[in-house]
Structure 1
Amino acid sequence: MTKSRTTSIKRLYMPTDAEIRKGKIREKTGKWLFLMIVASLFELIMFLNCIITSDEQDRMGIGLLCGLYLIVQWIYFFVFSIIGKRRMELEIIGFLLSAVSITITASISPSKLLMQVATTVVGIIVFAVMIWFLESINRIVVMRLPVAAVALALLALTLVLAEYTNGAKNWLYFGGISVQPSELVKVAFVFVGAATLEKLQNTKSIWKYIIFALACVGMLFLMTDFGTALIFFATFLIIAFLRSGDIKTLFLICAAGLLGVVFILLYKPYVAARFSTYRHIWENINEGGMQQTRTIIYSLSGGFFGVGIGNGKLRHIFAAAEDLVFGVVCEEFGILLAFAIVLTYAFLLIYAIRQAKFARSSFYAIAGVAAAGLLVFQACLNVFGVNDLIPMTGVTLPFVSRGGSSMLCSWGLLAFIKAMDLRTYPNVMKELYHQKQNLIRSAENE
């Protein structure tokens, strides 16, 4: 195990001779080309179904925007797989999930499709830029404090300037464009946490990140954005555990968090009122339980293969393409596809955990697993919430819910998972291999 001279983040992995001989540093593109073709055909079928069932005046616009999205995917594939010889499993997952979001947006809200496609394309660009940025540990160390400052400034600006929308202050408006800063801060939260906590046992490192985390969660509570606050808290626990492995410490943190929730419920009764319909949705079927009861009813009516794009009834309920999007997928696309989407989130977490032991530094291992854990936790809040298994928090389903800020956040988090795989950076892998050979030669000479 070696250490970088410019930072105390530890090296964890070096490629073996066998990996060099087997060509794992430079990926072959054949299998990824096949999977990309299959994914594109699936997306094309969804888009064509959406075009056929849409109003005549919307068909050309939907066709052009969906076609543009397919072109962007293939440009990315050509640049990074065929030329860059990079693995593509994570990108293909992102492309497919984003295509479901684009299809639902085109079907339910054609007027908002341009913005959804635009933010998805920007998200892919952000993903590519972050992959480049995360290659250098030096850049990561230098930028951790500026990123933390910008994140806190965004939340503070939202707290001061935002107006209440659906019970929470989490939107900023610039002309006709709305932005949800808390979604963007999720990426910063993972980045700062992984870069700051060199050793959780180090008191200075602990307090730096605890203060940052408390500031973020505290401002989210003041905005009454409790779903996002819960996501941040869960992510903090993941990062803390990855650095310490100390279950007792996590129990103490959870106990403190629980006391905080009890305090808020006692002294802020309007907060408790928001959860009053939990497990009582059928008693409030036309009031507080309207969204969840309709989601359950229409989801089951879709069966295994769905009633078809554009033929569902849940689409007429408020926030169908955002908070209730999982129900729309169940009803119109079928329970099988909905289950496949759930398995996709699980795959991301399993993939991240498996890659963590091969990550070249603690930063990549922590950031990748934390990002995957955040995506899975948020997906669980959405899926379980709309089905009344837990209180509904109003958080989005990553990649699938309509919303530009959410889409940018999803692609940003996916970049952390991608960056933890050393095969993403063939040049770095070769450099580490040569370092290993030099160490072996030095040892032999001694």
Structure 2
Amino acid sequence: MKDAKVRMLIPIYLLTFALFFNIALLRDPFDAGALIMAAVMCVLIGYAHLVVNKFFSHGDKFLVTFVSVLPVIGIAVLYRLDPNVAVKQVLWFIIGISTYISLVILLPDLNRFARYKYLYLAGTLIFMSMATFFGITVYGAKNWVDLGFTTFQPSEFGKIFFVFYLASSLKNYTDLKSLIEPGVVVVLSLGFMVLQRDLGSAMIFTFIAITMLYTATSRIKYLLASFGLGAVGAVMSYALFPHIRRRVMIWRKPWEYAGNESYQIVQGLYAMASGGLFGRGLGLGSPQYIPINKSDYIFAVIVEELGMIFALGILIIYFLMFFRNIRTALKAKSTFTSLLVVGFSVMVAMQVIVIIGGVMNMIPLTGITLPLISYGGTSMLTVFFCLGIIQKISEEV
């Protein structure tokens, strides 16, 4: 068993040093800092594997592998784009992986947290509404709050409270009447996201709520009703808010507005087309022509330089992570923990679908991060928190 665990680390270490050594070779003079970065990443990943596999051997062994590979790719690409940004991301990775490990070590049985429904409700409403009243506008969305010494997205923390609230509320589902309160909370949360013009988060929250509702009730009629209400809400939002109509316009006709509104979309499509199946090579692309290439559009940079096959490998990792998480949800020993896993799994999966779908112009573009890969401290911390909860629940099944 120990040999199998070591073998899981070898390909991660090889990938890490291959990416960073490639970057070091392209710099003139040779960039020894890239190799130091690779060594730091390997130490952190090795420690995470040691703790999870040695001291918590009954949990999901593959989840810690997935949460190791994705940040390696993201930080390597960020280092290629801007070493200073990559160093900041490594610091967030350290905080994130430490949070992940701490949750597995320190948290007691998660079922005891099911009783704090109204605490989660308060947290949901506070973080969901915060940017509406105190937010600043970044790239068209009013979803950031400036504290003076740092900025953050309250909705990222709101997602965590939102999932905990729905899990604690829906675990005692009996009839339609018991769904009124969570239904009101969902509508309020989505309303704040629309007012903040954060369409990506609105879509993610919608699918979290619908999936958790169906998991708790197993009622097709509720599922269909939720999709129907969602469609009505989407149509009303399109009619009421000009920024939504503009997003749909540039999605439908990106080439007509390539010089202004859809410049970002078109540049991303050009970049991915130039990368082809195998990419132009790490460090050999032209990411400077892709707007917001460190966060929203990092997937386009990956496809251009590392190729569509490499990008497909990333998507497979996300799929396997989702598959393993749902497997944990099915085996969870209580409705509350099962709903937590479903909610957090859908949150991460929908984030991947929404941003990659937007970058590839399959759906209207919304500015969110690619989990564990894009630059963004708030996003990395919240995703690691969610996956740490899932890892803990996998230990208890």
The two structures have a TM-score, normalised by structure 2, of: 0.92
Structure 2 counterpart SS, 1:170 = strand
Q: Does the aligned pair in 1 maintain the 2:322–2:349 contact within 8 Å?
A: yes
Q: Does the aligned pair in 2 maintain the 1:119–1:404 contact within 8 Å?
A: yes
Residues 45-86 of structure 1, C-alpha deviations (whole Å, 9 max, x = no match): 1122223334659x4554434432221111222223234435
Aligned to 1:436: none
Match of 1:115 among 81, 88, 96: 88
Q: Does the aligned pair in 2 maintain the 1:198–1:205 contact within 8 Å?
A: no
Q: What are the within-5 Å matches in structure 2 for residues 319-398 of structure 1?
A: 319-398=292-371
Match of 2:42 among 66, 70, 75: 70
Q: Does the aligned pair in 1 maintain the 2:51–2:101 contact within 8 Å?
A: no
CA drift of 1:203 comes to: 4.9
In 2, Cα distance between equivalents of 1:240 and 1:134: 26
Match of 1:408 among 350, 358, 381: 381
Structure 2 counterpart SS, 1:388 = coil
In 1, Cα distance between equivalents of 2:34 and 2:112: 40
In 1, Cα distance between equivalents of 2:235 and 2:83: 43
Structure 2 counterpart SS, 1:328 = helix
In 2, Cα distance between equivalents of 1:246 and 1:60: 58
Structure 1 counterpart SS, 2:333 = coil
In 1, Cα distance between equivalents of 2:118 and 2:308: 44
CA drift of 1:40 comes to: 1.4
Residues 250-309 of structure 1, C-alpha deviations (whole Å, 9 max, x = no match): 221222222222222222223312321112112222222222222222212223332222
Task: Describe the shift of the 1:60–1:216 C-alpha distance in structure 2 as closer, same or farther (beyond 3 A).
Answer: farther
Code of the aligned partner of 1:355: T
Match of 2:229 among 235, 253, 256: 256
Aligned to 1:307: 280
Structure 2 counterpart SS, 1:164 = strand
In 2, Cα distance between equivalents of 1:143 and 1:110: 43
Task: Describe the shift of the 1:45–1:176 C-alpha distance in structure 2 as closer, same or farther (beyond 3 A).
Answer: farther
Q: Does the aligned pair in 2 maintain the 1:315–1:328 contact within 8 Å?
A: no
Aligned to 1:219: 192
Structure 2 counterpart SS, 1:169 = strand
- Tell me whether 1:191 sits opposite 2:164 in the alignment: yes
Structure 1 counterpart SS, 2:331 = coil
- Tell me whether 1:179 sits opposite 2:152 in the alignment: yes
In 2, Cα distance between equivalents of 1:55 and 1:268: 50
Report the count of equivalent residues. Answer: 396
- Tell me whether 1:242 sits opposite 2:215 in the alignment: yes
Code of the aligned partner of 1:73: I
Q: What are the within-5 Å matches in structure 2 for residues 98-113 of structure 1?
A: 98-113=71-86
Aligned to 1:444: none
CA drift of 1:91 comes to: 0.9
In 2, Cα distance between equivalents of 1:142 and 1:116: 35
Task: Describe the shift of the 1:128–1:203 C-alpha distance in structure 2 as closer, same or farther (beyond 3 A).
Answer: farther
CA drift of 1:420 comes to: 3.7
- Tell me whether 1:170 sits opposite 2:143 in the alignment: yes
Aligned to 2:51: 79
Q: Which runs of 5+ in 2 are unaligned?
A: none
Aligned to 1:152: 125
Q: Which runs of 5+ in 1 are unaligned?
A: 1-27, 430-446
Code of the aligned partner of 1:336: I
The two structures have a TM-score, normalised by structure 1, of: 0.83
Task: Describe the shift of the 1:39–1:278 C-alpha distance in structure 2 as closer, same or farther (beyond 3 A).
Answer: same
In 1, Cα distance between equivalents of 2:92 and 2:209: 27
CA drift of 1:417 comes to: 3.2
Q: Does the aligned pair in 2 maintain the 1:295–1:314 contact within 8 Å?
A: no
Q: Does the aligned pair in 1 maintain the 2:136–2:146 contact within 8 Å?
A: no
In 1, Cα distance between equivalents of 2:76 and 2:43: 16
Q: Does the aligned pair in 2 maintain the 1:364–1:419 contact within 8 Å?
A: no
Residues 152-205 of structure 1, C-alpha deviations (whole Å, 9 max, x = no match): 222332222111111111112233422112122222222221222123334564
Match of 1:316 among 272, 286, 289: 289
Match of 2:103 among 124, 130, 138: 130
In 2, Cα distance between equivalents of 1:343 and 1:112: 27
In 2, Cα distance between equivalents of 1:212 and 1:64: 47
Aligned to 1:12: none
More displaced stretch, 78-87 vs 68-77: 78-87
